[in-house]
Each structure stands twice: as C-alpha cells, then as structure tokens.
Amino acid sequence: MPLMERVRDIGADEATIDDARVAVAREVLRDEIRVAKARKGKRRRRLGIGIGAGALVATGLSVAVVAVNIVGPPPEEISPADYAAAAEVLEDASTAILNTADPDLEPGQYLRIEEVVEQIFTDGGEQPGSIDRAAVTTSDTTVWYLPEDRRGDDWIKDDSALPEVTGVYGPDGAEFRDAFMAEDRGHSSTIVAFPGGTSGIPGEPSSFEPFRDDYDEMPREPTALIDWILDYVERTSPHIDLDEIPEDEVDELSEKLVSKTLTDALWLELPPADVRASMLAALAELRVYTLAERDEGTATLTLTLGPNVPDSTFTISTETGAILSVTNERPPGEEIAPEIPDLRITFSRSIVDSAPDPTE
C-alpha cells in the first residue's frame, strides 16, 4: 500500500485528515518519506530515516502520527518562558557562528562528516496496540567526505561499515535478535561517489546541499528569511495549498513547515556561516522550540508537534553553533525499553587529507 495511503488509514479513528493536511504533512516529512526503509514482516511500527536527496539527514518523525496530529494544542506545561529560553540559546548559537571560522580546506582535502545512527526495532505488529515482547538496538555509521570544491568534485559516501546490534531487550529478545540479524536489511556496504554532490538521478540532478543555488538570494534578516522560506516551500511544492487549510491552523502549519525546512538545512553545517546564523536567528523568532537542558557549551532543544506525537530534540554547541546530535523520542506507553529513544543521530566533523576510493 502506498505510504501516504497508510497515513490516511493509520489513526483514521483518531482524527479526520483531509487532502490539504496530508499535503502539508507530506512536505514536512518529505525527507523521511523518500528514505523510509521498508520493514519485512512485523518488525517495527515506526519508519526509519537516513540520507535524503534534499538534505543529508532528517528528523525521523513518525509519518502517520504527525499527519494526524501536526496541529494540536501544546502541553499545558509549556509556557512563553520555555520558548524564550530556547530562543536565547538559538540567538547565542547564531552569534557564535559568526565568531567561529568555517573549516578552511585546501585543494585535495575533505571535510569528513560522520553520522552515527542509533535506532530501536521492536517485534510489534503494524497495528496500534500491538504488544512488543522484544527489541534490539542498532548502531549504523555513515561517513561523508566533502571536497573543497563542492560543485566541481565528487562527494564520497562511505557506507561500508555494517550495522551493529548494540542491545537486546524483552523476554523474547534473544530469539528476536537472531531473526533480526538473519534478515536482509538492504544495507549497501558500498563507497559511492556523487559528482558535485548530486544524487545522479537521470534528468533530475538533486543536490545533497539544500539551497545551494539560493544562498545569494536568501535574506539574512530573520523575519524576511522566514517569509522567503515559506514562499520557497509553497513555490517548489505544488501539492501544498495553504488556502485549503482551516484559517485558524495556517499560522501554526506555516511555522512548522518553515522550522522543518530550516533545521533540515542546518544539520551538517553546509550553508555559509552568515546563512546558518540567519537560519538559527529565524528559528529563535519562530518560538517553536523549548529548552530541555543547558550545560556549559551545549544546549538541548525540544520540538513538540502535537499531543500524541513523540518529542524531537537536537543538541547544539552554543560555542560554535554546530548541531551535535538529533534525537526522536518514543511514543508514551512503550513497554519494552521505554527509556531508549526511537532514534538518535550523532555528528562529528574533521578535516582529512584523503577520501576512500569508490567501490562502484
């Protein structure tokens, strides 16, 4: 069954989803939908994420649940002060970017970006209410090598490392682990070159660097940038028509569309410093994140999408403005290892003098 048809079916007893809502949900989750990996059998009720054509990573929100609950009253405990605290963090990080030099690569050098993706897989069925009796956690590492000339030279994606099972949970955990490891998970185990950082799809070269052709045009003033991003999303996504959305929901949906688009573009620090700083300042102005925790040099911010949607968080360096990790929590009521996040992506970056040779 097509994925967006499943979006309409799952949760149909919880809320009415009209075509306009589904169109917006599809755009908010465009990267997740493109890269969702099909799960064989009754292995997992939620969809995995990974590298997308429009952005290298995405936030991994649950497609079905977000489509149903993308608009809804925030929890009562969220106060204006909570949003203001997160906005202060984002403003500090925006300033830090402008005070931190971007990596200065010499010809032949690469920016090495390592993504470690940790996920939990359960043995529950596809229908809500299925009982989990086992789960495994996995760790999967992908390394990107970005050249000094991102337009003219190859980007190298090293996906050769095999995923590892890092934990086993539940009364049927050992049996589930053995079955899970015996499945063909579709891992490529390859090293691939992408000319100029594009996907190489015939007729549609799609850059892995969002807005690469738009940096000069993008406003640096936060309010103007928010308007520009919303116009961009509507202009490049003909299936979205905000005129079909109930008037009292348009503002909230627009904010979430813009927030998702901005955060997708920020994960790997690919835009120029002044653009990244403006993006963070725009997120601060939108007041959609709350402050979960702040330590010396780092802070964790939370995005709450709706009353029944798991929180999504990211941790940012307030000293450099770099995104350090992204976490998607699990829905309430999980019985197996409820303390373990649904997904976490951790990033590390360094400059290296060479990249591995492609295997295909």
pLDDT band of 168, cuts 50, 70, 90: very high
Q: Write down the pLDDT at residue 74.
A: 53
The number of folded domains in the chain is: 1
Domain-embedded: residue 155:
no
Domain-embedded: residue 332:
yes
Domain-embedded: residue 193:
no
Residues 282-326: tens digit of each pLDDT: 999 999 899 999 999 999 999 876 666 778 899 999 999 999 999
Q: Write down the pLDDT at residue 58.
A: 34
CB-neighbour burial class of residue 318 (10 A; exposed 0-12, middle 13-18, buried 19+) = buried
Q: Which residues pair with 121 in a beta bridge?
A: 136
Segment 329-344 mean pLDDT: 86
Please say whether the dihedral angle defined by the alpha carbons of residues 327, 332, 335 and 338, taken in this order, is positive or negative. Answer: positive
- Model confidence at 39: pLDDT above 50: no
Q: Write down the pLDDT at residue 8.
A: 34
The answer to whether the beta carbons of residues 144 and 56 sit under 8 Å apart is yes
Domain-embedded: residue 165:
no
Domain-embedded: residue 45:
yes
Domain-embedded: residue 108:
no
- Model confidence at 169: pLDDT above 90: yes
pTM value? 0.76
The answer to whether the beta carbons of residues 126 and 42 sit under 8 Å apart is yes
Residue range of the domain that includes 127? 3-101+116-142+207-344
Residues 176-211: tens digit of each pLDDT: 999 988 887 767 789 999 999 987 666 555 788 888
Domain-embedded: residue 199:
no
Q: How far is the C-alpha of 279 from the C-alpha of 266, rounded, in Å?
A: 8
Domain-embedded: residue 335:
yes
